[in-house]
Structure 1
Amino acid sequence: MINPFSLANKNILVTGASSGIGKQIAISTAAMGASVHITARDTNRLDNTLKQLGDGHHRHYLADLTIGEELDALTDSLPNLDGLVLSAGIVKTLPFKFVNHTELDTIMQTNFFSPIVLLNKLLRKKKLNKNCSVVFISSIGGNFIGAKGNSMYSASKGAINAMQKVIALELAPQKIRVNNVSPGMVRTAMLENTTAFSQEQIENDEKNYPLGYGEVTDVANAVIYLLADASKWVTGTSLLIDGGFTIQ
């Protein structure tokens, strides 16, 4: 029986692969048979991810996607791709009245401009194969909910969601699909080590999720679906995975 979720013989690039959700996506896609190409800014953590990918034609590329020259070098080094997962991102909690141009520019540069420019460069250099699947990692904060202190982050993810729909329409003639995964709160090392919230605050917040907080594997499994042939008729959508948070 043919497995529609298999990623065998697919070249897939995962950005932000040195930690958290991006790292798990890289590990999970490799386990599904893909040749995984990973990129991030931290050499040691990127090496650690590569070691966990197991046997296969996997490669890693050290790059800061906010720097044009490094973005160009990465694009030139990559093979033609069957899948692209744009996972690199940062979070900055700040009440709106304290938002300033510098902080806003930093978040928009990492969360919005960098993945969009990378995708643009890959298209221009014809690095995306026919039937390629592009997956942005967004958030329920992008267009489903609002949370105090998250105006900048929500704006960056909302911009991704809006542009993604138009890109999906424009690339449909090439059978290139463009979707995003919008997770709720997921347990990562960043959450465990945060000083912005107390453990009591985190525990109380988790009670708002009917199924509790998610795991990084939950997001990775959703990405696998969107990368695989199982979703060949899905484009321009936001796949909401939030443990029931937004149905209340």
Structure 2
Amino acid sequence: MNSPFSLAGKNILVTGASSGIGRALAIECSLQGAAVTISGRNSDRLAETLELLFKGPDHQCFIADLDVDEEVYALADSLSRLDGLILNAGLIKSMPAKFTKREHIDQIFNVNFYSTALLVQRLLKGRKLNTGASICLISSVASQYVSVGNTIYSASKGAVNSYTKALALELSSKQIRVNAILPGFVNTNLLSDSHVTAEELAVHEGKYPIGRFGTPQDVAYLGVYLLSDASSWMTGSLLTLDGGFSLR
């Protein structure tokens, strides 16, 4: 039986696929039948992701630091035509506004926004996106519900949101859809590797009406929907996925 949620026959690129949300997205796309190309900076972790992909279509791995323009272009130029694109590479770095320096702004925006815009530009110029393709950007609920110390991170994700809407309108004539997922706190290594204590995390988790933080799989399932034909009438949407956090 054909399913509108199937990705069979589709070629999908997932950036930031070394771990966490990106890894879950890549795995779930492969389970739904897609041929997946994964990219990331850490070759060992990216190889682990490649081994976890469902063995069906040919999958590919490309080491790229999207903080470097030349590597962004090399990644785009190496790809065959795509039916789906998940732009997940991102950086979280918190600091009070009064301590922010130009290098901090550049670092966060380079990874969270500039690399995304440059990669999409190169893919479009190279005619690498098929008619009917779907682009899914991973933003953050922090773009709309801010917290102390996240001025630059929130601003970078706000740029992603605006870019999503503008790009969706621009590409609509080509039948290319563009949407963004805005996750709340997702339980990944970014949380466990942070300086936030377990007690502080527990207090914050209590603010989620569903009663828990998200998982990478939660995001992956929504990502698959956005890449599939089931969402063929959805474009320009910012989809909040936060266990009800933004209802508070």
Fold in common (TM above 0.5): yes
Q: Which amino acid aligns with 1:62?
A: I
Give ranges in structure 2 of 5+ residues lacking alignment: none
The residue correspondences of 1:72-151 to structure 2 (distance < 5 A) are: 72-142=73-143, 144-151=144-151
The residue correspondences of 1:115-194 to structure 2 (distance < 5 A) are: 115-142=116-143, 144-194=144-194
Residue 67 of structure 1 deviates from its aligned partner by 1.4
Per-residue Cα deviation, 1:158-201 (whole angstroms, up to 9, x for no partner): 0010111111001001000000000000100221232x211000
The size of the alignment, in residue pairs, is 246
Give ranges in structure 1 of 5+ residues lacking alignment: none
Q: Distance between the aligned counterparts of 2:208 and 2:124, measured in 1?
A: 39
Q: Distance between the aligned counterparts of 2:23 and 2:188, measured in 1?
A: 11
* Aligned partners of 2:69 and 2:115 also within 8 Å: no
Q: Distance between the aligned counterparts of 2:54 and 2:82, measured in 1?
A: 20
1:201 paired to 2:191: no
DSSP 3-state at the match of 2:148: coil
TM-score (norm 1): 0.97
Residue 12 of structure 1 is matched in structure 2 by 12
Q: Distance between the aligned counterparts of 2:69 and 2:201, measured in 1?
A: 38
Residue 21 of structure 1 is matched in structure 2 by 21
Residue 54 of structure 1 deviates from its aligned partner by 2.6
1:240 paired to 2:233: no
Q: Distance between the aligned counterparts of 1:54 and 1:181, measured in 2?
A: 24
After TM superposition, the runs of 4+ consecutive aligned structure 1 residues lying more than 3 A away are none
Residue 41 of structure 1 deviates from its aligned partner by 0.6
Residue 97 of structure 1 deviates from its aligned partner by 1.2
CA-based RMSD:
0.8
Q: Which amino acid aligns with 2:180?
A: N
Per-residue Cα deviation, 1:105-132 (whole angstroms, up to 9, x for no partner): 1000010000111001000000000000
